[in-house]
Amino acid sequence: MALALRSLHDLPSATGVIDRRYPLGDAPVISQSNLGIDKVAFKAAAYNLLQLASNQTFDFNYRQFLTGSSAATAVLSINAASGSLGNWRIDASGNGISIATGANGGSGSLFVSATNGVDTVTFDVQVWSAVAVAQQGQIKLVVGNGWWTDNQFWSGATGAAAQEKSNFDNYFPLWSANPLSKYFYMSLTWGACEGPTRGDYSKAFAAIDYALAKCATAGHKFGVIVEIWQTFFNTFSLTDLASWPQYVVNNNWIIACIAQGAKRTQPKWDIDDLWSAFGDMCQAICDRYNSHPLFYGFSTMDESVAISIIDSKDANGNTVTQPNGLSPGQTILDSAHYNAKFLELQLRLLARLSNTPLYVPLNYLPPGGSTEAPTMANMINTIEAQYPKHAIYGGPDPFVRQTTFQKLVAGVYQSTTGMADIRKNILLMNRVQEAFLGNTKDSSGNLIKPGNTPQQLYDNAVQNNAVMLTWNHQTWEYYKYADEIAAIQARNGVVGTPPAGGSYTII
């Protein structure tokens, strides 16, 4: 009887709490959706909103870093943390933010938030800026095929001619007689450029003058691209004057280690004065040859290879003994400092090369791993913002090898960098590293034919829109000059198409 007199509203709910808004007092149990941010992944992406182009649209996906059951439906918003919001807005997809910076650019700080109606999460504040595009004249852009000799150099420790100069002299009559051959890719070491005292660049000038003078005798327009080597393989020598100037050796600016199972030497890039000395030399070369009609390009480094953490094991998994008292696994390079100085040097030289493109090899950047693609994307965005279509990108490896850089420009890392497929929007060089073709020998010592023919490598480069295709001529590899020139002639020298929007004098 007592139970009958009770209201149905007084019956306990599933949670033990009576809610009189419901007929039986049993309010439904609702599991609240949750929302969060994977700040580790967001930080690792390290996306840089600084120095965006003032004439381009930029878009970046923030939803990819949201976590929780409402990550897919949470609503993004954007506000200025300080300064102006500029033209930043939530993009049309609702997944990120975009900016059409306009002619005036701007700068400020902003934060992006997301809410599911109950929870609100906020990304770390990001500083942004848009810069004016640098004024530049037409650049000499060689479009076509050229030649280089991997791991061979112009001169030795005494200054006498080395293998590369010998190759250049021997093969120049063939190159100069074939109008499909457009340039020679010249490799100089720091030691071959600068004298024993800092600031003496007479050796570099003599070598480059010699090559340019010889090129001027060709039956068609044939020029030179110059690169400087700064990492050396299969050596522990810290005193090799073929590689380093005497004062660099005296300053103890070189370090040797084992990395990726091989001997390596490289500069101690943590030293700012070393960057200054190296940059001064590069600038002197750019200043001297920028306007020379046959000087088709310059590169500060053969590869952007810089070892930050040395190996504890060799390629076979065996423990290795590092030279000079180094410890396996030791950090020998501040990667963030290196990447910042590397970019700073590229921008410094682009400011001096009003008529000549700068080649920026980006196959690798320290420390590698998840930071590599975002770091490369930041560099490309910064360079293109200030000097659009003025830098050439690529590496010493063909596109079939698919390094981080090659995957990046193909759009593979768009979700973590915001960079879509940009192969049609930037200048690309493909250097056919014949070592990748293979020089494996059978039990009798005969070279085994590699899997990729010159024709296949050629077609792959064109498919990836390489506007310059640099063939690696070496006498000791399976494929010889005749095989490579046959591929060039079969394709009539065709390469990719320079991107629209550049100011070029096409050669």
The whole-number pLDDT of residue 104 equals 54
Angle between helices 481-490 and 454-463 (to 10 degrees): 50
CA distance 340 to 354: 23
In this structure, what are the phi and psi dihedrals at residue 431, rounded to the nearest 5 degrees? -100, 115
Write the single-letter amino acid at 286: C
pLDDT of res. 1: 44
* Cβ contact 226:284 at 8 Å: no
| C-alpha to C-alpha distances, 282 to 188, 266, 287, 338, nearest whole angstrom | 11, 17, 9, 17
> Which residues in the chain come in under a pLDDT of 50?
1-4, 6, 8-9
Paired residues of 228 in beta bridges: 188
Domain with residues 36-131, CATH architecture: Sandwich (2.60)
Q: Output the pLDDT for position 43.
A: 78
Residue 369's region, left for phi above 0, alpha for psi from -120 to 50, else beta, is left
User: Which residues, including other chains, have CB under 8 Å from residue 166's CB and lie 6 or more apart?
Assistant: none
Assess contact for 266 and 228: CB atoms under 8 A: no
Please check whether residue 398 is in contact with residue 430, taking contact to mean a CB–CB distance below 8 angstroms: yes
Ramachandran bin of 238, using left for φ above 0, alpha for ψ from -120 to 50, beta for the remaining angles: alpha
* Contact by Cβ (8 Å): 423, 383: no
Residue 118 has, within 13 A of its CA and on its CB side, a CA count of 10
Q: Which of 222, 217, 191 is nearest to 204 (CA)?
A: 191
Token pair in block for residue 171: 């093969």
What are the residue ranges spanned by the domains of the chain? 36-131, 139-506
Contact (Cβ atoms closer than 8 angstroms) between residue 175 and residue 144: no
**Secondary structure (H, E, C), 462-489:** HHCCCCEEEEECCCCCCCCHHHHHHHHH
Contact 279, 206 (CB under 8 A): no
- 38, containing H or E segment: none
Cα–Cα distances in Å, from 279 out to 27, 213, 254, 283, 382? 72, 26, 16, 6, 19
pLDDT at residue 176, rounded to an integer = 92
| 286 touches 298 (CB < 8 A) | yes
Q: What is the pLDDT of residue 118?
A: 86
The matching CATH number, chosen from 2.60.40.640, 3.40.718.10, 3.20.20.80, 1.10.760.10, for 139-506 is 3.20.20.80
The residue whose two tokens read 């480069």 is: 461
Tokens 């112009």, residue located: 154
